[in-house]
Amino acid sequence: MRRAHFLSRLGLTLLGSLPASALNVPALPALPEIAPVGAPARPTPARPVLPQPATQPAQPVRAASAPSDPLFAQQWTLPVIRAPQAWALSGVQAAKPVTVAVLDTGFVNSPELAGRAVNGHDFVSDPARAGDGGGRDADASGVGPYAFHGEVVANIIAAAHDGRGMAGLNPRARVVHVRVAGTDGQIDVPDLVDGLKWAAGLPVPGAPSNPNPARLLNLSLFADFIPLTRCDPRVQAAVDAVTARGALVIAGAANDGADAGGYSPAGCRSVLTVTSVTAQGARPAYANWGRSVALAAPGGEVGHGVTVSSVSGAGGVRDPNGTSLAAPHVTGVASLLLGVRPNLTPASLRRILTSTAAPFPGGNCDPQPARSCGAGTLNAEAALNSALSSSLGK
């Protein structure tokens, strides 16, 4: 049950990241610590509320040209899922902002999300693993050498199209960071359960109410301290509760090259589980597979990672690979769908995303049919066209 390194839990593989020599660290990629935002004493901050469209209009996505962000040309995953074609659709220009929760390593003050991200809540209950001098509190700032994980996930979803850094899938999306992973990268089931509920706006004892409940919950991780044999009943109950609330849980399948059905939340009912494929539509060896996987998205492979902005990366850039990067591609597109059809249910979102997926070359992502990758590869243009051509969810 234990893993050689927690990046497996968080949906990244050890290979394919920036070389250790570029980061002045040993061969095992222990990356520089991102200091928490705020004072060391971590006083309870005023809980921000994300701006509403009437008070802070979102900058429209430009359909006439590609984003001018300098990393856009290196973001090979975007043409694979036909994101530029989706942005060019006329109905997308009138899309409304959608709030997404990223349950991960916590908040990093990224310029890519300025004004559209909030420091939500820290649900890491074990002070020894929290690394911030205490247990749960109202400061979800990322702590430790891998705090970048939640940052890059959020940037894939929502990085601005502003001529700096990278281009996110939905530059209008608003992000709430919910910290559930300790500095060791491990996720305790009760912390994950409460983080799920809080992110969707459900009450959690001991935590203030969430003023920014999310319609989409991105979980590029899986729970620890439990056997990898099925969905944990506690996690399933939380997924059921947030789904009934109208929120869709999107999870990475994990990176053990195994059946995702034994993982929580990847193996849970009503979760849209996403595995990785290469630019050619094949399953990388690390990517989990199986009947619980609903969809695939590009997540990179050894030597061909996913280019992302990161304030702690060498030159402000990282190129990791893993199902952690595949899942937020789906979350970003799902947020575009909700932007044009705000009343879509979790089941309707899932149906649109899977029914419009591009077929795998030759019909399969893997020569072994049992190692399946879901309905196909995410197709943003086809998904948005499907939503815009229907009155469902208006």
Tens of pLDDT, residue by residue over 264-302, are: 999 999 999 999 999 999 999 999 999 999 999 999 998
Mean pLDDT of 250-266: 98
Q: What is the pLDDT of residues 23-34, one digit of tens each?
A: 222 222 322 323
Residue 50 has a pLDDT of 77
DSSP state of 35: P
φ, ψ for residue 85, nearest 5 deg: -65, -35
How far apart are alpha carbons 322 and 302 in whole angstroms?
9
CB 7 within 8 A of CB 185: yes
**Residue 17 reports pLDDT greater than 80:** no
Structure token pair of residue 4: 């050689």
How far apart are alpha carbons 39 and 93 in whole angstroms?
40
pLDDT band per the 50, 70, 90 thresholds, residue 11? low
CB 271 within 8 A of CB 249: yes
SS3 103: strand
Which DSSP helix (H) or strand (E) runs through 159? Answer: none
Residue 30 has a pLDDT of 28
**Residue 250 reports pLDDT greater than 90:** yes
Name the residue among 266, 253, 110, 264 with its Cα closest to residue 177: 110
Q: What is the pLDDT of residues 41-100, one digit of tens each?
A: 344 455 677 765 443 344 444 444 589 999 999 999 999 999 999 999 998 988 899 999
Residue 24 has a pLDDT of 26
Mean pLDDT of 361-365: 95
How far apart are alpha carbons 83 and 77 in whole angstroms?
9
The amino acid present at 260, given as its one-letter code, is: A
**Residue 333 reports pLDDT greater than 70:** yes
What is 206-251 written as a DSSP string? TS---SS--SEEEE-----SS-TTS--HHHHHHHHHHHHTT-EEEE
Mean pLDDT over the full length of the chain: 87
CB 263 within 8 A of CB 241: no
SS3 30: coil
How far apart are alpha carbons 146 and 10 in whole angstroms?
10
Active-site option among 264, 324, 335, 386? 324
Mean pLDDT of 336-362: 97
Q: What is the pLDDT of residues 110-159, one digit of tens each?
A: 999 999 999 999 999 999 999 998 999 999 999 998 899 999 999 999 99
Residue 12 has a pLDDT of 55
Name the residue among 374, 337, 369 with its Cα closest to residue 359: 374
| Strand-pair partners of 301 | 304
Lowest mean pLDDT among 8-22, 25-39, 238-252: 25-39
CB 354 within 8 A of CB 337: no
The amino acid present at 363, given as its one-letter code, is: G
Instruction: Reply yes or no on whether 191 is catalytic.
Output: no
Structure token pair of residue 65: 């040209």
Instruction: Reply yes or no on whether 161 is catalytic.
Output: no
How far apart are alpha carbons 11 and 6 in whole angstroms?
9
What's the CATH fold of domain 6-18+58-388? Answer: Rossmann fold (3.40.50)
Domain range summary for the chain, segments of one domain joined by +: 6-18+58-388
| Residue position matching structure tokens 């394919």 | 16
Active-site option among 149, 161, 177, 329? 149
SS3 323: helix
Instruction: Reply yes or no on whether 68 is catalytic.
Output: no
pTM of the model: 0.89
How far apart are alpha carbons 60 and 356 in whole angstroms?
25
How far apart are alpha carbons 201 and 278 in whole angstroms?
35
Active-site option among 69, 104, 191, 259? 104
Residue 51 has a pLDDT of 64
